[in-house]
Structures are given as C-alpha cells and as structure tokens.
C-alpha cells in the first residue's frame, strides 16, 4: 500500500472497505438509420466560449470527433487493471455511482496517493504527456494566450469518470490539492448538466452548464474551489461511434501541488 497524502481539508478520512473494481462494457452500437439522437447541435447556431462565472469558462465543441475517439481509445487502456476502473467509496461506506480511474496520482475520497490503495494497491498509471499538453492548451483556450496561469500550469493528475446509466456526481469542492491552478474538464459521450454552486455553498442559486461531447470547462482563479457536480446525464445524446458504452466520460486534469 502506498503512502496516503493527507492534505485534505476534510482531514484525509477514507473508507476502510475500499472501492469495487469494474470491467468496462463494450461500445454501444451505432444508432440505426433513421433513429434520431436526442442531441442537440444540428440546425443550431454555433455555440461560443462563455465565462459562466468569474474564472469558470465553457468552451463548446472544443475537440473534434477524431480527438474525442482518440481519448476514448486511450481510456479503454487506462481502465484496465492494475489500478484500473472502479466505483470509489466515500468514507461513510457508500459507493459512488460513477466509475473512475486515475492517472498520475490516485484519488480516493478523500485523499491522494501514488498507489490504488482502495483496490489492488498497484502503482497508478502515469499521466500521459499528451494529456498534460492538452490541459495546457485547454487553459489557453479558456483564458487566452498569456493568461495568468499559462506558463506556470503543471498538471500532474487526472480523474477519469465514467457515468453509466443513472450515474451522477454530487456537489463537492476539489479540496485535496494544495495547488490553486485551474481544473480542466473535458466531456465525452452523453451530454450532461454540469452544475456550479458557490465557493462557500453547495446550495442554489446554481449555474448550470450543458456540457456536450467534446466540450471543455475550465475553472480557476476565484472559482477554483467552487462546489460543482453532475446531477444529470442525458441518455442517447452521444455522437455515434465514439467507442464508449452508453453514458458519459469526463477527463478532469489538474495540478495537485503534491510531491
Ligand atoms: O465528471 C465531471 O465532469 C466532473 C469531475 C469532477 O467534478 C471532479 O473530478 O472533481
């Protein structure tokens, strides 16, 4: 077992029961001809970059389909054991409905370590260089070249969440990382409501962002510690042939500030 780094604002408590490893389901079959996706997009004006709250920027249609497929293909490898996909467990004993796999640093509620201490104890897979570069490009897309974080941003961890049918993610703050660098989230597959509350409240009023496959959301600066979550995923809204099982995939890259 690795050393758990207890830098958390919640005191580093974790569940003794551990997570539950899962096996990634095959890709969903393409929709039959004539069957309409519920998704959105067609016959709509192009969506543009929006700063939804100070420091929180939504960049729609950031990745083209080819780049999305490439990430899904990589995810299929990350999901395999050792240190593969699992349902994490919160300290109260409940399993989270999302399945998740980590890169660079392993995160379990609520601590980081270098090994998957809540499953097989294996070393976490490295954060690929391409993902580090993609996250840097994401920060530039959100804040512009020469933005405050551009040169200093040193991502070292990703949490990759798979939302199968019915899965959601409750409102939470990313509080286990000492770093104040922005958090970069890429959505793939089904669309979702990405909900932002406040930095000091998980209650409304909420700012809800509709995130579709290929969209980017970056939150940093005054919203780095904002309560956020994914209350709803909209089934059958993913592009065809993405290579995912039914549901949504998110890749959230961040700088932990841990060593
Ligand atoms: O799955 C998402 O889009 C959000 C992930 C998230 O909130 C997190 O990693 O803290």
Give the domain ranges of the chain.
Answer: 47-254
Q: Is residue 218 lining ligand 1, measured as CB closer than 6 Å?
A: no
Q: Is the peptide bond before 82 cis (omega within 30 degrees of 0)?
A: yes
pLDDT tens, N- to C-terminus, the chain (259 residues): 444 554 444 447 888 889 999 999 889 877 665 555 544 556 788 889 999 999 999 999 999 999 999 999 999 999 999 999 999 999 999 999 999 999 999 999 999 999 999 999 999 999 999 999 999 999 999 999 876 566 689 999 999 999 999 999 999 999 999 999 999 999 999 999 999 999 999 999 999 999 999 999 999 999 999 999 999 999 999 999 999 999 999 999 999 999 9
Neighbours of 223 (CB within 10 A): 23
Ligand 1: residue of 100, 135, 138, 159 to mutate (most ligand atoms within 8 A of CB) is 159
> 55-78 b/e with 16+ CB inside 10 Å = b?
bbbbbbebbeeeebbebbebbeeb
Query: Which residues neighbour 148 within 8 Å (Cβ) at sequence distance 6 or greater?
Result: 221
What's the distance, CA 70 to chain centroid? 16
pTM of the model: 0.92
The residue with tokens 């929180």 is: 56
CA-derived radius of gyration, the chain: 17
CA of 225 to the centre of ligand 1 (A): 12
| CATH architecture, domain 47-254 | Sandwich (2.60)
Six token digits for residue 17? 């029961």
Task: Check: CB of residue 218 under 8 Å from CB of residue 255.
Answer: no
Instruction: Tell which residue, 130, 67, 91, has the closest CA to residue 4.
Output: 91
Cis ω before 110 (30° cut-off from 0): yes
Query: How many beta carbons lie within 10 A of that of residue 207, not counting itself?
Result: 17
185 lines ligand 1 (CB under 6 A): yes
Tokens 């930095």 sit at which residue?
199
> Distance, CA 185 to ligand 1 centroid (Å)?
7
Q: How far is the CA of 35 from the centre of ligand 1 (A)?
A: 31
Quick check: CB of 99 below 6 Å from ligand 1?
A: no
CA 240 to ligand 1 centroid distance, Å: 23
**Residue among 108, 157, 177, 228 to mutate when testing ligand 1 (max atoms within 8 A of CB):** 228
Determine whether the shortest distance from the Cβ of 174 to ligand 1 is under 6 A.
Answer: yes
Kindly give the distance from the C-alpha atom of residue 222 to the centroid of ligand 1, in angstroms, as a whole number.
Answer: 18
């Amino acid at each position: 077992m690795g050393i758990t780094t207890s830098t958390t604002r919640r005191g580093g408590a974790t569940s003794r029961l551990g997570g539950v490893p899962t096996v990634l389901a095959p890709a969903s079959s393409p929709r039959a001809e004539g069957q309409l996706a519920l998704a959105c997009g067609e016959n709509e004006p192009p969506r543009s970059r929006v700063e939804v709250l100070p420091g929180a920027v939504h960049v729609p249609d950031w990745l083209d389909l080819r780049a999305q497929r490439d990430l899904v293909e990589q995810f299929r490898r990350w999901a395999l054991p050792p240190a593969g996909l699992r349902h994490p467990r919160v300290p109260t004993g409940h399993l989270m409905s999302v399945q998740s796999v980590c890169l660079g640093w392993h995160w379990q509620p609520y601590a980081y370590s270098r090994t998957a201490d809540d499953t097989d104890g294996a070393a976490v897979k490295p954060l690929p260089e391409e993902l580090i570069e993609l996250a840097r490009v994401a920060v530039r897309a959100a804040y512009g070249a020469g933005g405050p974080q551009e040169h200093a941003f040193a991502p070292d961890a990703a949490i990759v969440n798979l939302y199968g049918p019915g899965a959601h993610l409750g409102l939470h703050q990313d509080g286990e990382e000492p770093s104040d660098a922005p958090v970069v989230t890429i959505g793939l597959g089904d669309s979702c409501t990405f909900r932002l509350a406040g930095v000091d409240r998980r209650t409304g009023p909420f700012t809800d962002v509709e995130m579709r496959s290929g969209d980017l959301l970056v939150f940093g600066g005054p919203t780095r510690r904002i309560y956020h979550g994914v209350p709803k995923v909209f089934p059958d809204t993913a592009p065809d042939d993405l290579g995912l099982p039914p549901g949504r995939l998110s890749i959230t890259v961040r700088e932990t500030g841990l060593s």
